[in-house]
Amino acid sequence: MDKQAMTAELLKAIKTYEELGFRYLPLKQDRITDLLHSRPVYAVSESREKIMTAPQPCLSLDKDSALQQLKEEIGDCTRCRLHKERKNVVFGEGSSEARLMFIGEGPGRDEDIQARPFVGEAGRLLTRLIEKMGMKREDVYIANIVKCRPPFNRDPEQDEIATCKPFVERQAEIIHPGVIMSLGRVSAQSILGMKMPIGRMRGNFFSFHNIPLMPTFHPAYLLRNPKDKWLVWDDAQKVLEKLKN
C-alpha cells in the first residue's frame, strides 16, 4: 500500500471510530496496519432502528501517547492573549497512571521559566503535602486551569479560562485518576462552574466528569495563612480515604 492510499485508509478508519464515540486513538506505528484491516465489533439490524448489544471496540490506548498528542495539539499556543507575555506553555507533568491529580490555577514566574507546574515556593509546599500523603511527586499528575502565566500573576480571566479549560479536562479524561484535588478558588470555581467561596467548597467532594473532586486551598494561600494548613491536611485525609475505597 503506497503512502497516499494508506493515508486515505487511515482517515477513513479514524472517521469510523470517531463516529463510534472515540476521542483518542494514540497508536504506535506498527499497529496502524492492524487498525486499517480491523473492523469494530458492532451490529445493526436491517431496519437500522435497533442496535444489537455487542462488545464495544477494545483498543489498548496508551495514555502517555494520548498526553503527548494533546501536548502537540496545544503546541506553541496563541489561542488567547496570555501567550503575548508568557515564556513557556506549562502543559503539566507526572504519571499518566496517577490515582491522584492536582489542578491549580495558572503558572507563576518560576513555572513560566521552567515550563513545569508548581516548582516555586508554593510548589515546594505542594510537594511536601504529596509526600505527607505517602506518595512521591512523580506518582501524581499536576496541571493547571490555564497553561500560560497571567501577567503579574493576576487571576485568569473568563475568556482565557474558557479557551484553556478543555485541555485540562482532556488531561483528566486521559489519566482518569481516582480523585482530583483542585487547588484554590479559581480552579474549583472554573472546574465546577460554581461561584461558591472556596472556604465553603473545601472539605466536600464534588463530581468532575464522574471523578470525585476535592477542592482545597491553594499552596500560595497557605504561605500567607499557615494556620490553615491543618484544613488542607484534613481535606487530604478525606482524599486518601476515598482512594482506599
Q: What is the mean pLDDT of residues 166-183?
A: 98
Instruction: Tell me, yes or no, whether 132 and 79 share the same domain.
Output: yes
Share of the chain above pLDDT 70, in %: 75
What is the dihedral angle through the alpha carbons of 196, 202, 206, 211, rounded to the nearest 10 degrees? 130
Instruction: Tell me, yes or no, whether 226 and 176 share the same domain.
Output: yes
Of 159, 172, 171, which is closest to residue 73 (Cα–Cα)? 171
CATH number at residue 101: 3.40.470.10
Query: Domains in the chain: how many in total?
Result: 2
The band of 17, judged by pLDDT with boundaries at 50, 70 and 90, is low
CA distances from 167 to 79, 156, 164, 180 (A): 12, 15, 6, 15
**Residue 27 backbone dihedrals phi, psi, to 5 degrees:** -130, 145
Q: What is the mean pLDDT of residues 84-110?
A: 98
Q: What is the DSSP letter of 69?
A: H
Structural domain boundaries enclosing 44: 1-61
State pLDDT tens for residues 177-219. 999 999 999 999 999 999 999 999 999 999 999 999 999 999 9
State pLDDT tens for residues 26-71. 554 455 445 444 444 333 333 333 323 333 333 435 999 999 999 9
Instruction: Tell me, yes or no, whether 122 and 235 share the same domain.
Output: yes
**Of 61, 77, 97, which marks where a domain is finished?**
61
Instruction: Tell me, yes or no, whether 113 and 131 share the same domain.
Output: yes
- As beta bridge partners, residue 181 has 102, 214
Instruction: Tell me, yes or no, whether 15 and 72 share the same domain.
Output: no
Other beta carbons less than 10 A from residue 190's beta carbon: 23
Instruction: Tell me, yes or no, whether 53 and 75 share the same domain.
Output: no
Gap between the terminal Cα atoms of the chain: 50
> Does residue 13 carry a pLDDT above 90?
no
pLDDT at position 5: 63
Instruction: Tell me, yes or no, whether 21 and 80 share the same domain.
Output: no
Element containing residue 158 per DSSP (H, E): helix 158-175
Half-sphere exposure (Cβ direction) of 230: Cα atoms closer than 13 Å: 1
Q: What is the mean pLDDT of residues 161-165?
A: 98
Share of the chain above pLDDT 90, in %: 75
Q: What is the mean pLDDT of residues 154-165?
A: 98
Residue 221 near residue 126 (C-beta atoms within 8 A): no
Q: Which residues of 60-78 are buried (b: 16+ CB within 10 A; e: fewer)?
A: eebbebbbeebeeeeeebe
**Residue 121 backbone dihedrals phi, psi, to 5 degrees:** -60, -45
Other beta carbons less than 10 A from residue 31's beta carbon: 15
The band of 245, judged by pLDDT with boundaries at 50, 70 and 90, is confident
Measured in residues, the chain has a length of: 245
CA distances from 60 to 2, 13, 25, 65, 220 (A): 26, 16, 9, 11, 39
User: What mean pLDDT, rounded, does the chain reach?
Assistant: 85
Instruction: Tell me, yes or no, whether 191 and 171 share the same domain.
Output: yes
Q: Name the 3-class secondary structure at 44.
A: strand
Residue 234 near residue 215 (C-beta atoms within 8 A): no
Instruction: Tell me, yes or no, whether 193 and 100 share the same domain.
Output: yes
Instruction: Tell me, yes or no, whether 54 and 79 share the same domain.
Output: no
Residue 229 near residue 195 (C-beta atoms within 8 A): no
Other beta carbons less than 10 A from residue 167's beta carbon: 23
Instruction: Tell me, yes or no, whether 83 and 4 share the same domain.
Output: no
Instruction: Tell me, yes or no, whether 114 and 157 share the same domain.
Output: yes
State pLDDT tens for residues 213-240. 999 999 999 999 999 999 999 999 999 9
